[in-house]
Amino acid sequence: MSLALALLARAPMVSVPDINVTGELIRVVLSLGGIVVLIFAAGWLTRRLQSRQFIGGRRLRCIETMPISARERVLLIEADGKRLLVGVGAGGVRALHVYEGTLPVEEAPKPVAVTPFAELLGRLGRKS
């Protein structure tokens, strides 16, 4: 037994560092929050850059598209103030119709009358 005690006495003492659990937890949570904020900032920046319109240099735009089959579709394209109906398919692209004259003015959608939620609940309560 004295040999074991002698070996233990000679062995270097390993000290276990004190770990501040609260500080580590705060550091991990703040790091995770920073990563989430970066993800949302990247999404916002991506949407903003995609919606940017180039003024003055863009004379061609697709107004509407409609699929006809799995491989064919019809496009309504505006180019230099004229509207073209174009068919796109496996055989290529073909102009179907060119609309002449002035462009039709699109009407703004009419606002829909919205019933307040409190009024709906009042009606529901009266029916019972």
CA dist 28 to 1, 34, 82, 88, Å?
A: 47, 10, 58, 53
Q: What is the pLDDT of residues 82-120, one digit of tens each?
A: 889 999 998 899 999 988 766 556 666 777 777 777 787
Higher pLDDT, 16 or 55: 16
Tell me the per-residue pLDDT of 8-54, one tens digit each, with 9 for 90 and over: 667 676 676 778 889 999 999 999 999 999 999 999 998 888 766 55
Query: CA 123 to CA 115: how far, in whole Å?
Result: 11
63: closest CA among 74, 52, 47? Answer: 74
Q: Exposure string (b/e) for 78-94, b if CB count within 10 Å is 16 or more? A: beeeebbebbbeeeeee
pLDDT level of residue 73 (50, 70, 90 thresholds): very high
